[in-house]
Amino acid sequence: MSVRRTTTLAGVVALALGMGAIAAPPALAHGRGGGTSPEKFAQQISTRSVMRHLEAFERVAERNDGNRAALTSGYEDSARYVERTLRKAGYTTTRDPFTFDQEIVDAASLTVTGGATYEVDQMEFAPSTAEGGVTAPVSVPADPLGCAPEAWAGVDVAGTIAVVSRGTCPFATKATVAEAAGAVGVVVYNNTTGMLFGTLGAEGLVTVPVAGATQADGQAIVAAAAAGPVEVTLDTRFHTETAESFNVIAETRKGRDDNVVMLGAHLDSVEDGAGINDNGTGSAVVLEVAVQLAKQKKLNNTVRFAWWGAEELGLIGSTAYVEELATQEGELDRIATYLNFDMVGSPNYVIGVYDADESTYPAPVPVPDGSVATEEVFTGWFDSIDQPWVDSQFSGRSDYQAFIANGVPASGLFTGADGAKTEEEVALFGGTAGIPYDPNYHSPADDLSNVDRTALGIMAKAVGFATASLAQDTSAINGVSGPGDQGGHGKPWKPGKGRHGDGKGARVFEDAA
């Protein structure tokens, strides 16, 4: 799960008790079209088979420097495994290439003269330093947040590197206030654990370097400055290079071309580990569903599967794919709904469904028509088997973002990342309150031992049920039911030529405050 170049979902996807779930419509519950019923198909998605795919992904990582990150041999080998498995099941696979501007970090440090060196992250839209960085004394505002000129009253700021805390106001405000007071550099440290990955929101707001730091490192600098003068060197520089990666796409041979149900999961990991929960689990579940669906004798609708590239660098593969479809007349209209699966085996799990009906969380992004009906396929399944579930914010902070931005209905499942589990969630699912849903999120410990088999099995069967249901009938979503005229099938979507532009948006950041 992503948000940025170092990467990830830095923001917490909050979860709370699901409310107002309703059972799946009868048409979805009984498998129209003569194939295996969705309920029976769900049972064909075995945890053991999904685990075999995860074991293969872990072997890939072990052979490739411990990760499966975009632009690495580990990603290439992961894709080859998916392609081999699909071809064995009878699919034709397509590599969907895209290019993008990749930021290469040349320097990202804050060094105390004669002391420690701390890692920092250059904020988006902040100028780079000259080679060797900027060396200056540290200044700290009387109000550590530094949101207004009054915060610097009585402090000699001129020619210093200002060190301020995150909170209350946007990062750009902190930076512009400090620069106006005379600072030659700004470091904003986090107000919670982890590195602060931030953005100023626009070009040209400041002329001095601005960086994010961890809470512990920032507080250490502040404490040292309180004890006496401290001089530091802030060095933040990067350059861009054009990079190319690819998505893997496959679709069923059966089903009407004009009504496509699409499933996706990102295939890449972060560089720090094998990414077996994030997102080997989603990739493995989608893969096993594809394998089993290929055995079905009759499908009313085409089902298309995607394994996205460069998600951890900023949702790049899925965004490029949707942007190209948007240039091809009618292609996006063919997609009835998109289902996203990103982290479905967290060790301290919840059973989360994207909250399209906003029954628990207001959505910070547009919710396309049809998304609520898609959500109800999942919640109806869980209710029918007495499986507790909770809402997960419909935030757009995974590979469904580009789809919903272009009006395609979407939903998905999520077992949690770096948010803290609540007592209410423990009552529903067990586990431990007050610690992350996945304590090994984006770390080298995200290996096979990090996956909860119970959560994985629950989610895998839910994906199977939803896929089989929608493969037969999407009328609750878009009014389309029945097989239609399938005579034109055999012309699946293929990537265009001269693809995808410059991949702007290769970094997605936390909110600017």
Q: Which two tokens stand for residue 172?
A: 């750009």
Which residues are designated catalytic? 311
Identify which of 23, 3, 92 has the alpha carbon closest to the alpha carbon of residue 382.
23
Segment (H or E) for 97: strand 93-112
E strands of 267-407, at which residues? Answer: 301-308, 335-341, 352-354, 390-392
Q: Is 403 helix (H, G, I), strand (E, B) or coil?
A: helix
Q: Give the integer Cα–Cα distance in Å for 173 and 169.
A: 6
- What is the torsional sign of CA 425, 429, 431, 435? negative
The separation between CA 468 and the C-alpha centre of its own chain, rounded to angstroms, equals 25
- Tell me if 409 sits within 8 A of 368, measured CB to CB: yes
Distances (CA, A) of 52 to 92, 157, 289: 22, 59, 13
CA quadruple 461, 463, 467, 469: dihedral sign? positive
Tokens of 153: 């009253």
The H or E element that residue 238 is part of is: strand 231-251
Cα→Cα distances 502→198, 331, 463, Å: 22, 22, 33
The backbone region for 371, taken as left when phi is positive above 0, alpha when psi lies in -120 to 50, beta otherwise, is alpha
Q: Do residues 264 and 318 make contact, with C-beta atoms less than 8 angstroms apart?
A: yes
CA 230 from centre of chain: 39
**Tokens coding 48:** 């053991």
Distance CA 180, CA 168 (A): 19
Residues contacting 448, CB < 8 A, separation 6+: 54, 55, 58, 276
